[in-house]
Chains A and B, each alone.
Chain A
């Protein structure tokens, strides 16, 4: 486990004995995991290990479907709110915890409107403030220079990689503290993937990032910490360089060397 100076890193989120059930299916089994602030934590593991299930607990995405049940706690700091408590409003959580999905999914609106939408629904915003916020989000997503002269064109006219960066801009617009990426580059070509990876490496200076990826090399390239999961359990969590050069657990070693999964 990460020790020494890592133990003194500020924590953004922490799950304590988190379990999750899809109806009768026990998908997550008592996961206790620390997410260090303003670092990138990758969740890796074979298909069905629970990494996406875990990710979706962090912003209450599972609430969208009936029959799902959380057990245990997930704390978001600095205030320590328990994300999965029934009394906590999931909408409030999702303003603080953003998500980017595998397949780029911009709204069927203009580029500008995609980014402005989340800001507008919360409260009335003056036009100049909105323009500034949209530009800031698009710059942070490394998309501004490509779209600044066509902000009112439809988002679907952008390439796949650009659409994904637009989705990142959309997520960044509300100033989230935690940004979740669910296999963000699986649907993209290598060049677009490389640009997104560079972007994620830049973003972690401002926002804490958790990324689920089945691409081990991607996790190696861009994450600071890696959590290896298997059959709903957390097997090992450590600095990425340790996981990929000298993991403690034999199962972790078997996975990262490609002997299974």
Chain B
């Protein structure tokens, strides 16, 4: 039977996707602002964070309303509670894009320390994870979600590699310290964005399968009995 409440669920899904699209754009623009040393683009990212925040509030209110008035059960309940949590993860991602932009503006005050190779690589990989975790949500695809969980290691490894490289710059020449530290922060922010993408992926697994897979070792997750 087609239910009126199904329209409300569809609208909620649309709002999450809208927020996801905005956040993907924020991250993309923040990285471009860094690589192209574009302070205007960085400022745009900082301003647009308010839009993402207001969507987060709207989605929260929508979910509370659905819980209060419709008392959803089973997969409907998992969908609504997952949507509430996903919007929080997306809002944090946008905050991190804002942080990247702030560091990018600061980095423009000095010459570029080195060609940016690892940071764009990390960023592209992370943005694929963000796209895939949202695809997994839309399509209720827990297999894709589990794949995103295993992709996190690549970003973590690159973060360590970046830090080791920047550390050697700092040891060799103290004049590079302020730039190197800012770049380290940026690497950390990208790594945190990837972490939020894995959080979303874990939530999607819960939504689809009803299993809570948070705080389990990713390699163990390929064993579907967990």
> Which of B1, B3, B5, B69 is the one whose CB lies under 8 Å from A241?
B69
- Please name all residues of chain A whose beta carbon is closer than 8 Å to the beta carbon of B4 when the two chains form the complex: 198, 201
Identity of the chain A residue whose Cβ is nearest the Cβ of B5 in the assembled complex? A221
Instruction: Indicate whether A217 sits within 8 Å of B71 (C-beta atoms), given known contacts A241-B65, A245-B64, A245-B65.
Output: yes
- Please name all residues of chain A whose beta carbon is closer than 8 Å to the beta carbon of B65 when the two chains form the complex: 241, 245
Give the residue among B1, B5, B68, B71 with the most A Cβ atoms within 10 A: B68
Chain B interface category by residue count: 10 to 19
Q: Is B75 an interface residue (CB 8 A)?
A: no
Q: Is B70 an interface residue (CB 8 A)?
A: yes
- Please name all residues of chain B whose beta carbon is closer than 8 Å to the beta carbon of A22 when the two chains form the complex: none
Interface string of A185-206 (1 = CB under 8 A from B): 0000000001100100100000
Give, as a whole number of angstroms, the nearest-CB distance from A209 to chain B.
14
A221 engages B1 (CB within 8 Å): no
A interface secondary structure, majority: helix
Q: Which of A204-236 contact B (CB under 8 A)?
A: 217, 220-221
Q: Is A240 an interface residue (CB 8 A)?
A: yes
Cα(A183)–Cα(B3), bound, Å:
21
Cα(A244)–Cα(B66), bound, Å:
11
Instruction: Indicate whether A221 sits within 8 Å of B70 (C-beta atoms), given known contacts A195-B1, A198-B4, A201-B4.
Output: yes
- Please name all residues of chain A whose beta carbon is closer than 8 Å to the beta carbon of B68 when the two chains form the complex: 220, 241, 244-245
- Please name all residues of chain B whose beta carbon is closer than 8 Å to the beta carbon of A220 when the two chains form the complex: 68-71
- Please name all residues of chain A whose beta carbon is closer than 8 Å to the beta carbon of B3 when the two chains form the complex: 194, 198
Cα(A245)–Cα(B68), bound, Å:
6
A side interface size, CB within 8 A: 11
Give, as a whole number of angstroms, the nearest-CB distance from B225 to chain A.
34
Cα(A244)–Cα(B71), bound, Å:
11
Give, as a whole number of angstroms, the nearest-CB distance from B224 to chain A.
34
- Please name all residues of chain A whose beta carbon is closer than 8 Å to the beta carbon of B64 when the two chains form the complex: 245
Give, as a whole number of angstroms, the nearest-CB distance from B4 to chain A.
5
Q: Which of A88-146 contact B (CB under 8 A)?
A: none
Cα(A171)–Cα(B141), bound, Å:
47
> Which of B1, B5, B69 is the one whose CB lies under 8 Å from A244?
B69
Identity of the chain B residue whose Cβ is nearest the Cβ of A223 in the assembled complex? B69
Cα(A198)–Cα(B71), bound, Å:
16
Q: Which of B1-34 contact A (CB under 8 A)?
A: 1, 3-5
A240 engages B69 (CB within 8 Å): yes
A198 engages B70 (CB within 8 Å): no
Give the residue among A194, A217, A240, A241 with the most B Cβ atoms within 10 A: A241
Identity of the chain B residue whose Cβ is nearest the Cβ of A245 in the assembled complex? B68
Cα(A27)–Cα(B3), bound, Å:
38
Cα(A215)–Cα(B4), bound, Å:
19
Cα(A217)–Cα(B68), bound, Å:
9
Cα(A198)–Cα(B68), bound, Å:
18
Give, as a whole number of angstroms, the nearest-CB distance from B36 to chain A.
46
Can you offer 12 A-B residue contacts whose CB atoms are under 8 A? A194-B1, A198-B3, A217-B71, A220-B69, A220-B70, A221-B5, A221-B69, A221-B71, A241-B65, A241-B69, A244-B68, A245-B64
Please list the 4 inter-chain residue pairs (A to B) with the smallest Cβ-Cβ separation, ordered nearest first: A244-B68, A220-B69, A245-B68, A201-B4
In addition to A194-B1, A245-B65, 7 A-B residue pairs with Cβ atoms within 8 Å of each other are A194-B3, A221-B5, A221-B69, A221-B70, A221-B71, A240-B69, A241-B68
